[in-house]
Amino acid sequence: MPVFLQPTHFTKSDHWKLQRKELILGTGVSNFLGDLGGLNKSGTHYLPVDIDWNTTRPVGGFGFRYRFLPWFATKTTIQYAVLKGDDVWTNEPFRRNRNLSFRTHLFEVSQQIEWIFYSNERFGARHKIYGLKGMNNKNTVAYLITGISGFGFIPQAPIEGGWINLRPLHTEGQGLKGGGQEYKKIGFGIPMGIGYKVGIDALWRISFELTYTQTFTDYLDDVSGVYFDNALIEASYGSTSAYFADPSSGAFPTWTAAGESRGDPLHKDGYLFLNIAFVRNITYKGNGRIKWDYKRRYRL
């Protein structure tokens, strides 16, 4: 007696409803785009061409995605990253002489919207029958990303035996007359990026995402404005503050004199994330397997 198998396809008009809810667990790498580090020239703001690969550091987190229309989804993520920059890896004279170095612990919560511009999602036959050509499983989407991110950050500098928090050191004369303003410990940014998800089976996918976040703060690296009078910093805050305000060798004292540029306050900081994540479809209930109605799908 012949057996005919009727496959179920994700390509029908409501296929996206089978992918509404997903849990995300991922890891990856981060890179900083700001005043510190960079290539052997003045910083190229907003562009990844200024990436210093020596400063690549880890990022990881988890999230939840809800697909509310066939071509749109919203995603909430919580991530922890380390950002890094160091003037020692550039040969640009001013930045090399400046000799600043930092790392920042970044704790980010992001709410994103995804526009799915490519979708190929379908189930092939449940069982393979020898000699019968059937449709293969397909479960891939590509999408663009934007949204808003909020984050807390802790910039630090290397010190013998460990790291020291930079914000309390007032390295640009914060709190002193004529000094810079005290910056906040939290900030906001606009993430922009692209993602691609490929299916392992009906319940699991692997996603690859590249996002750049343009922030509204210039102090992820504790550097923004001009040098302050280092003698006044030492008199008010101590020798440690004075050192981290200007750790240059002193070979070019006019380059780091009070009022000279220490950073670029006209351009805010940004960072890149490249993430790989396991994505679990939780739309299905019960035992987590797709429920097949054999009476409807098989004819004997």
Nearest C-alpha neighbor of 245 from the set 222, 268, 267:
222
Q: Most distant CA pair in the chain: distance in Å?
A: 96
φ/ψ of 127, rounded to 5, equals -125, 145
Nearest C-alpha neighbor of 279 from the set 137, 141, 171, 125:
141
For residue 171, what are its two tokens?
A: 């390295």
254 in Cβ contact with 260 (< 8 Å)? yes
**What is the Cα–Cα distance from 255 to 45, expressed in whole angstroms?**
22
Nearest C-alpha neighbor of 28 from the set 180, 208, 213:
208
**What is the Cα–Cα distance from 248 to 262, expressed in whole angstroms?**
11
**What is the Cα–Cα distance from 31 to 48, expressed in whole angstroms?**
9
**What is the Cα–Cα distance from 156 to 165, expressed in whole angstroms?**
4
148 in Cβ contact with 192 (< 8 Å)? no
Q: How confident is residue 120, by pLDDT bands cut at 50, 70 and 90?
A: confident
Average pLDDT over residues 201-224: 93
Q: Which residue has the higher pLDDT, 95 or 29?
A: 29
Query: Looking at the DSSP assignment, which residues form a beta bridge with residue 225?
Result: none
Q: Report the chain's mean pLDDT, rounded to a whole number.
A: 84
Average pLDDT over residues 136-147: 86
Q: Is the pLDDT of residue 2 over 90?
A: no
Average pLDDT over residues 221-250: 95
For residue 296, what are its two tokens?
A: 């409807």
Question: What letters, b where the CB count within 10 A reaches 16 and e where it falls short, cover 183-221?
Answer: beeebebebbbebebebeebbebebbbbbbbbbebbbbb
Lowest mean pLDDT among 96-105, 119-128, 238-247: 119-128
Lowest mean pLDDT among 82-96, 114-128, 256-270: 114-128
Reported as a single tens digit per residue, the pLDDT across 280-298 is: 999 865 444 444 443 344 4
Q: What is the pLDDT of residue 45?
A: 54
Nearest C-alpha neighbor of 205 from the set 126, 121, 284, 112:
121
Lowest mean pLDDT among 122-131, 148-157, 279-288: 122-131
Reported as a single tens digit per residue, the pLDDT across 67-81 is: 999 999 999 999 999
Burial of 90: CB neighbours in 10 Å, binned 0-12, 13-18, 19+:
buried
